C-alpha cells in the first residue's frame, strides 16, 4: 500500500511538472538560433533589407525588417517523399544584390511569422513579394526575435503592435498603398486583429490561423509542434486545461474567449488557407470562423500540413499575386477567392538550405 502511494505521488509530481511546462510554453515562445535562421538574417542584410525598431504606445520595443522592391534571385524546390508522408524543401537565396531595373512599386505587404519565430523566417515570401514590386515589412512579434519580452496576447496585443508599426511607417511615407497583410499560424491570427485595428487594408491572407487559442493549445501537445511529441501521451486534458487557466491569469488574457471571429468581421477581404493534412488547426474551426462573413473565404490545399503549407510558394504565390492585383484594380468589389496550383513532384538539385519534414 505504501509503495502504491509513493508511485501515485511520483505520477502527480510528474503531471504537475508537465502542467507547469505547458503553461510556460503558452506564455513564453522560444527563440530559433539555428544555423538556418542565422543564414536568413545575414542574407537579408546582404540584400539591403534594413533592420529597424520602434517603440509602441505601451512601451514595447518592436524590431522589424523592411525591404524595397527588386529582382531577388531566390529559388525554391519542394519534393514529396515516395510514400507521400514526408517532403524535402530546399531554398537557394540570392548571392548578389538585385541587378537590373527594379519592378514598379505595386504596394506593401506586411508578413507576420508563426509562434516561436521571427520576421526573418518568412524570407522566401519576402523576396518573392519584393520581386513582384511590393515593399515588404517583417516585424518580430512581441517576445520573439529581437523585440521586447512582453506579455503575449494570442492575437489582440500583437494586432495592436502591428497596427502601430504600420501607422508609424505610413506617417513617414514609407509604405506605398495598397496595403496587404499575410500571417502564418499565430501570425495569421495577429494579421486579422491588426486589420481590424487599421484603416485602408486592402486584403488579408491568413495561412493556418486558429479560430480559438485555447482549442489549438489543447491540440498542440500531440502534434510535436508545441514541445516533445511524448507530452501528448503523458499529460491529460485536465492538466492542459489547468495550464491554459494559469497562463490566462499570468498573461491577463482569457485564452478561452479571444474573439477572432469578431476581428474577422471587422477585417477587409480575407483569405483563410489551410493544408488539408493539418493536425493542429481543424477544418471545422475555420469553417465556423468564416461562416456568415461575406468578406472571408476558406481555402483548403490538398496534401499540405501545418508546416509544409507555408513552404509552398510554388502553389500559392501565383494565385495570391493575381488575387492582390484583382483587389488593387477593382477596390470595393466583392471579395474573390483563389484556387491553389496543383501539387507538383519536383526534383531538388544544387547547393541549398533545406528542411525535411513529415505530414
Average pLDDT, the chain: 88
In a domain, 61, yes or no: yes
CA dist 240 → 9, 21, 38, 216 (Å): 19, 10, 33, 11
Say how many residues make up the chain: 359
CA angle 126, 129, 135 (to 5 degrees): 85
Residue 1 has pLDDT above 90, yes or no: no
In a domain, 133, yes or no: yes
SS3 291: coil
In a domain, 101, yes or no: yes
In a domain, 231, yes or no: no
Q: Which of 273, 289, 262, 231 shows the shortest CA–CA distance to 17?
A: 231
Confidence band for 158, pLDDT divided at 50, 70 and 90 = very high
Report the pLDDT value the prediction gives residue 270, as an integer from 0 to 100: 96
Q: Which residues of 340-349 are buried (b: 16+ CB within 10 A; e: fewer)?
A: beebeeeeee
Report field, pTM of the whole predicted structure over 0.85: yes
Q: What is the mean pLDDT of residues 218-238?
A: 76
In a domain, 117, yes or no: yes
Total of domains in the chain? 1
Cβ burial, residue 28 (10 Å; 0-12/13-18/19+): middle
Report the pLDDT value the prediction gives residue 175, as an integer from 0 to 100: 97
In a domain, 201, yes or no: yes
User: What residues make up the domain containing 108?
Assistant: 34-217+254-341
Cα 189 from chain centre = 8
Ramachandran angles phi, psi of 166, nearest 5°: -60, -45
Asked if 162 and 138 count as a contact pair (C-beta separation under 8 A), the reply is: no
Do the strands 107-112 and 75-80 form a parallel or antiparallel pair, or are they unpaired?
A: unpaired
Amino acid at each position: 500500500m505504501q509503495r502504491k502511494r509513493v508511485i501515485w505521488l511520483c505520477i502527480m509530481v510528474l503531471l504537475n511538472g508537465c502542467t507547469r511546462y505547458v503553461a510556460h510554453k503558452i506564455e513564453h515562445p522560444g527563440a530559433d538560433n539555428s544555423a538556418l535562421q542565422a543564414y536568413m538574417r545575414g542574407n537579408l542584410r546582404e540584400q539591403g533589407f534594413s533592420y529597424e525598431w520602434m517603440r509602441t504606445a505601451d512601451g514595447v520595443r518592436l524590431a522589424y525588417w523592411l525591404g524595397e522592391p527588386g529582382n531577388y534571385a531566390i529559388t525554391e524546390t519542394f519534393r514529396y517523399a515516395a510514400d507521400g508522408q514526408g517532403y524535402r524543401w530546399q531554398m537557394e537565396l540570392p548571392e548578389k544584390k538585385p541587378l537590373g531595373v527594379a519592378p514598379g512599386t505595386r504596394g506593401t505587404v506586411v508578413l507576420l511569422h508563426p509562434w516561436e519565430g521571427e520576421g526573418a523566417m518568412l524570407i522566401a515570401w519576402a523576396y518573392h513579394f519584393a520581386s513582384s514590386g511590393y515593399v515588404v515589412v517583417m516585424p518580430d512579434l512581441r517576445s520573439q526575435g529581437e523585440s521586447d519580452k512582453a506579455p503575449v496576447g494570442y492575437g489582440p496585443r500583437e494586432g495592436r503592435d502591428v497596427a502601430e508599426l504600420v501607422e508609424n511607417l505610413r506617417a513617414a511615407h514609407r509604405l506605398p498603398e495598397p496595403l496587404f497583410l499575410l500571417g502564418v499560424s499565430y501570425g495569421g491570427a495577429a494579421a486579422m486583429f491588426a486589420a481590424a485595428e487599421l484603416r485602408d487594408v486592402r486584403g488579408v491572407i491568413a495561412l493556418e490561423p486558429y479560430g480559438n487559442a485555447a482549442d489549438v493549445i489543447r491540440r498542440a501537445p500531440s502534434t510535436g509542434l508545441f514541445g516533445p511529441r511524448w507530452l501528448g501521451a503523458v499529460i491529460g486534458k485536465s492538466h492542459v486545461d489547468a495550464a491554459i487557466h494559469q497562463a490566462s491569469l499570468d498573461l491577463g488574457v482569457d485564452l478561452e474567449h479571444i474573439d477572432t471571429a469578431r476581428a474577422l468581421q471587422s477585417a477587409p477581404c480575407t483569405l483563410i488557407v489551410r493544408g488539408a493534412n493539418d493536425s493542429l488547426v481543424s477544418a471545422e474551426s475555420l469553417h465556423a470562423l468564416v461562416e456568415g462573413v461575406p468578406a472571408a473565404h476558406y481555402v483548403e490545399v490538398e496534401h499540405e500540413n501545418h508546416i509544409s503549407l507555408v513552404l509552398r510558394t510554388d502553389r500559392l504565390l501565383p494565385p495570391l499575386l493575381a488575387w492582390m492585383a484583382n483587389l488593387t484594380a477593382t477596390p470595393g468589389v466583392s471579395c474573390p477567392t483563389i484556387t491553389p496550383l496543383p501539387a507538383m513532384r519536383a526534383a531538388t538539385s544544387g547547393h541549398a538550405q533545406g528542411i525535411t519534414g513529415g505530414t
